Structure 1
Amino acid sequence: MRRMMFCSSQRLKIEVGCCWITMVFIPLLASLVQPTHFILILLPFLILLIFSDFHRRRGANSNLPPGPTPLPIIGNLHNLRGLPHLAFHRLSEKYGPIISLKLGQVPSIVVSSADMALEITKTQDSVFCSRSQLTALRRFSYGGLDIAFSPFDDHWKQTRRICNVEVLSVAKVQSFGPIRREEVNALVNSITKACSRKEGVNMSERMLTFTMNNLFRQAFGKRIIVDGEHESRPQVYDILKEMLRIMTEFGAGDLFPSMGWVDVLTGWRRKLAQSFQKMDSMFEGEIRERILLNSRGSVQEHCFVDFLLQPQATEEGSQSLTMSEIKAVLMNMFTAGGDTTSTTVEWGLTRLMKNPLAMKKAQEEVRRVVGGKGVLEESDLQHLHYLKMVINETLRLHPPVPFPPPRESMKDTKVGDYNIPAKMRVYVSLWSVGRDPKYWGVDAEDFRPERFENSVINFKGAHREFIPFGSGRRICPGISLAVAGVELVFANLLHAFDWALPDGMVNDDVDLEAKPGMIVSKKVPLVLVPSLPSPPITKG
């Protein structure tokens, strides 16, 4: 045992020393000596580094899943070119549905098939239900007080229960129906103004306007983007976009645990702190304003903050959430419910524009259900079976968060024939699961809503092959709220307008390229030309 501890300690010292030399000594040396002398000096170090890495791998668990051979120091970071979910998908096609990687110096597992996802999120959910504490996520979650990014513990379970009962229950979702209806009407009215001019409409921006107003009214009871044809982007949107961007970043300490100090030298920690401070100040101001309105009795419509400010029933009795706990929950609402709705609708419209027959079928259904009423209500949504299939197919191919933050194994276990040690980071690729040919066939890459016809498969986490919102204890708790918004706005856009591409464009010109981020949206915004549909011809 002493020998094992000594060897482990020695390897750790070598690894830390190599990291120091790589980050500090080598760049300094390269600037001071001639290239030929530099190579001669560097050669012994490289030999030592390769030997150390080989020795470390020999002593590691030999029954980990397969994967590409890691390089010294950087591990498999060189294998992750392009968008992460696409890079992991390519690796899974080569090495299998469960692969082992080293992201820097951190051993990680990537799961990319429906069967393996079931093992992680359902069968062994009790083992893999915790979260790996990445630096940015830990900061934005107020040290682990939220639902989405915090480790599995008693506080997490209690906070999730409170939110499920007081904020995200079916009754609460239904109570926000009037807000959704008003914001959808505002969106439709703004697009109607563009119809007379026959100009293109940036659907990414219009959906952003709808989403932000809808979310802010539900969270804080007020709109943040004024009515008008050319809404100005509010500062709060820039704050949230910056927050989402930084939350997807890895600090040096996340990839090289002994080198967190590098984040201070590069200024990344300062950037993280500044972004967090902006978010915190925004939430603090909105909550204080809401407390003041409640104290004056001048609240006109209730919102999430009102419910979170109320004392909550717990096993120990009545308990109030702290200000930090409320802000952590609000952070989850804005990360999970912000761009996800607008992104899903944008991808759905994109797919319909590339598939005119599916567009025609969806519009005919919506207009038939609405009939002579002229206005589509939420009660009509239950009859829009083909639209629901379109949304399902959109979520299958374009899950809003294709690569959720990593889970963490809570103890040693086995997945399939492989050993998974405790504290291992485990990534589940929802993007790959939705394209698993074992369940979706050889045309898994094709957009075909009819594959959901007469199917019991849904997105609520019970079906291994379709988990766009996750599954198990870590499933998104706001599914009902998100889907309610997507269905209502999507149905109204199809009912109220006919859609065409700008002059000179054909269906094949509509691209499907995505941009990086926690929420993966279109790289090139979708611009469409709306027109009011012709009234149906009635027989005299």
Structure 2
Amino acid sequence: MEIFKHVRHTWSNSILFFLSLLFFCSLAFIVRNRRFNRHRLPPAPTVLPIVGHLHQLLFELPHIALCRLSSKHGPLMLLQLGQIPTIVASSPEIADEILKAQDHIFCGRPYVTVTHRFSYGGLDIAFAPHDDRWRLLRRLAKAEVFGSSSVRAFRDVREEEVRALLDTISSAAARGVPFDLAPMLLCLFNNIVYRKLFGKRISAPGNCGRSRHHELIMQVVAFTAETSVGDFFPCLGWIDVLTGWRSKLEKRFKAMDGLLKEEIEERMRNRRGRQHIDPVNFLDALLRSEAGMDFCLDFLQDQNVIKAVLMDMFLAGTEPPALTMEWAMAELMKNPKAMNKLQEEVRGVVGSKGKVEEEDLQKLPYVKSVLKETLRLHPPGPLLLPHESSKDTEIGGYHIPAGSRIFVNAWAIARDTRFWKDPEAFVPERFEGSQVDFRGCHMQLIPFGAGRRMCPGMSFGMACLELALANVVYAFDWAPARRRSTG
């Protein structure tokens, strides 16, 4: 009986402790709301105590739920997600105000547990604070990876890897049974990124069947989309430890960290004794500061900074373009007229040459239209990476408090009926003769964002996508797999 009394006493204390925390969280919520309500805030749905508007996001994908709410409450909304005030932008005009007109105020990044861990505490490019160190890293990445000259110089590698993809598809098709294209596409972009970062591919020569890191990449990408209790209720962050969520995060982080550490150490061993080697891959460019060749990059001697930048490129350069290519092929197979038109264009230009080369792409406008329409319908990040306001400001006469988390719903913007006729339909022809592009000038199409925080790898990724798509439709005729009869 004494044991049961002790258990009951402990359980009572735990409940009391938990209720106390909820009380203080609620008190903080009320105090903050009173402070905010002194100003004219953006419209918002009815708010519930403690949880705020979290219940509105439970049963749909976030970008779809937010689009639904914006149709009722307007393109600029204020949501209270737990303890976190969150601004949601769902129109090109509001996006322009956030990403361009007031970019200097909204270019910060909020603290999110997963991205904070995978960026080694904000040491990377995507999630680092907007400061001089961030500018220096971005400039280095543009010079070595993302600049036009670097993209052109990588042409031979792109063509080699696309040829390996075509050979792998040909082998699979020869067996006469349906096959899954998705792992091949992930392997393609994994090999391309690996060669750019580390100077080597990870598959067997000529093979593009399944990446050695396929499972790890998919697990990490899936986990980076998760949010923790602590992200919405900072005072309850300890719950993430009790539920085991933190340990899962740490397990996936350590797996990726180990992979990057292994590549760095191997490259450092190969460089030892050669102080003045010219960079042949991006890791070399990051490591050359250790040889004293670039004194402005001394901070890179912290290996965590190197790993953080490599982590950015490894994750952003592998799964998003593979997913975009997968969506493009799915839409083309669902729309045979578009597939036939694309194949006629590519085969008419390339003829019997046997492959599409990069100089052919300038003569293939429909390839570009197909990819634009794919990115419009299926942006790799339907909600752009979150921004944070650095000080109080106004948008459209509404007060935006400092420290607000900002989401731009690129998915909803690309379905705005003021700019897109029949927005749910796959119609690449809408871009024929149109000046609308995705490079941050036309806010109705921003799959890569805009302004200072725009994705720096856009040109590199699109060069790979255009070449891969053109070759895949040139070399093969495609159809979706038929369902097997269960009768």
TM-score by length of structure 1 reads 0.80
Equivalent of 2:233, from 256, 260, 270? 256
Gap runs ≥5 in structure 2: 1-10
2: CA distance, partners of 1:431 / 1:459? 13
What secondary structure sits across from 1:440 in the alignment?
coil
Contact 2:279 2:285 in 1 (8 A): no
Match of 1:149 in 2: 127
Tell me, yes or no, if structure 1 residue 108 matches structure 2 residue 77.
no
Q: CA deviation at 1:280?
A: 1.3
Q: Residues 115-158 of structure 1, C-alpha deviation per residue, up to 9 Å, x if partnerless? A: 11111000110110110011221111111111111221221112
Report 1:202-351 matches (<5 A): 202-226=180-204, 231=209, 234=212, 236-295=213-272, 302-311=280-289, 317=296, 319=298, 321-322=300-301, 323-351=303-331
Contact 2:164 2:207 in 1 (8 A): no
Amino acid at match of 2:482: D
Q: CA deviation at 1:51?
A: 9.4
Q: Residues 266-319 of structure 1, C-alpha deviation per residue, up to 9 Å, x if partnerless? A: 22222222222221111011011122223377x999322122222399997464
2: CA distance, partners of 1:332 / 1:91? 32
What secondary structure sits across from 2:272 in the alignment?
helix
Number of matched residues? 468
What secondary structure sits across from 1:438 in the alignment?
coil
2: CA distance, partners of 1:138 / 1:230? 32
2: CA distance, partners of 1:107 / 1:300? 48
Q: Residues 502-526 of structure 1, C-alpha deviation per residue, up to 9 Å, x if partnerless? A: 2359xxxxxxxxxxxxxxxxxxxxx
Structure 1 258/334 Cα, relative in aligned 2: closer, same or farther at 3 Å?
A: same
Equivalent of 1:450, from 417, 423, 429? 429
1: CA distance, partners of 2:381 / 2:236? 29
2: CA distance, partners of 1:486 / 1:307? 25
Identity %: 45
2: CA distance, partners of 1:296 / 1:490? 43
Tell me, yes or no, if structure 1 residue 430 matches structure 2 residue 420.
no
2: CA distance, partners of 1:49 / 1:135? 19
Contact 2:63 2:411 in 1 (8 A): yes
Match of 2:469 in 1: 490
Gap runs ≥5 in structure 1: 1-20, 30-41, 506-540
Contact 2:387 2:405 in 1 (8 A): yes
Report 1:389-404 matches (<5 A): 389-404=369-384
Amino acid at match of 2:355: V
Amino acid at match of 2:309: V
Q: CA deviation at 1:223?
A: 1.9
Structure 1 220/53 Cα, relative in aligned 2: closer, same or farther at 3 Å?
A: closer
What secondary structure sits across from 2:85 in the alignment?
strand
Contact 1:436 1:444 in 2 (8 A): yes
Tell me, yes or no, if structure 1 residue 165 matches structure 2 residue 143.
yes
Equivalent of 1:465, from 417, 428, 444? 444
Match of 1:411 in 2: 391
Q: What RMSD over aligned residues (CA atoms) do the two structures have, in Å? A: 3.0
Contact 2:183 2:214 in 1 (8 A): no
2: CA distance, partners of 1:48 / 1:434? 41
Match of 1:421 in 2: 401
Match of 2:5 in 1: none
Structure 1 146/451 Cα, relative in aligned 2: closer, same or farther at 3 Å?
A: same
Report the more deviating stretch, 271-280 or 487-496. Answer: 271-280
Q: CA deviation at 1:50?
A: 8.5
Equivalent of 1:183, from 143, 151, 161? 161
TM-score by length of structure 2 reads 0.89
Tell me, yes or no, if structure 1 residue 97 matches structure 2 residue 75.
yes
